[in-house]
């Protein structure tokens, strides 16, 4: 995978995977907002002394950006990145849950 397009590729792939399972469904404008938030999280320089693991670090940064998006919007909930396959470009998402039930928008459980 081309490193130049790495951040944009992952931001797009994760935004689309997130939007496919978010509740309530996202408008195209909100999908674009998620994409921009994810891209910013991936290209933002790390603080000095922080090491970025290519897989876990990237997923953690993407998930933190999704957390921030949901907190800011306060009206949507969706899955988080479970894994990123650098070779195939596949994104695996999973829903967070408590007591075996998916989290809900508008106040959690």
pLDDT, tens only, 57-102: 899 999 999 999 999 999 899 999 999 998 899 999 998 765 544 4
| pLDDT tops 80 at residue 5 | no
HSE value, Cβ hemisphere, 13 Å, CA-based, for 49: 0
Mean pLDDT, the chain, as a whole number?
Answer: 83
Beta pairing partners, 81: 93
pLDDT-derived band at 49 (thresholds 50, 70, 90) equals low
| pLDDT tops 80 at residue 108 | no
pLDDT-derived band at 50 (thresholds 50, 70, 90) equals low
pTM reported for the whole predicted model: 0.78
Q: Determine the pLDDT at residue 56.
A: 45
Q: Determine the pLDDT at residue 104.
A: 56
Q: In Å, what is the CA distance from 50 to each residue of 2, 13, 37, 38, 46?
A: 24, 25, 21, 19, 6
């Amino acid at each position: 995978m081309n490193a130049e397009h790495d951040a944009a590729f992952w931001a797009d792939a994760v935004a689309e995977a997130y939007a496919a399972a978010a509740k309530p469904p996202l408008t195209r404008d909100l999908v674009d907002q998620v994409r921009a938030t994810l891209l910013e999280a991936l290209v933002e320089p790390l603080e000095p002394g922080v090491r970025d693991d290519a897989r876990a670090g990237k997923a953690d940064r993407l998930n933190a950006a999704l957390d921030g998006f949901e907190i800011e919007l306060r009206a949507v909930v969706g899955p988080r990145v479970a894994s990123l396959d650098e070779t195939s470009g596949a994104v695996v998402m999973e829903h967070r849950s408590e007591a075996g039930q998916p989290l809900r928008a508008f106040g959690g459980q």
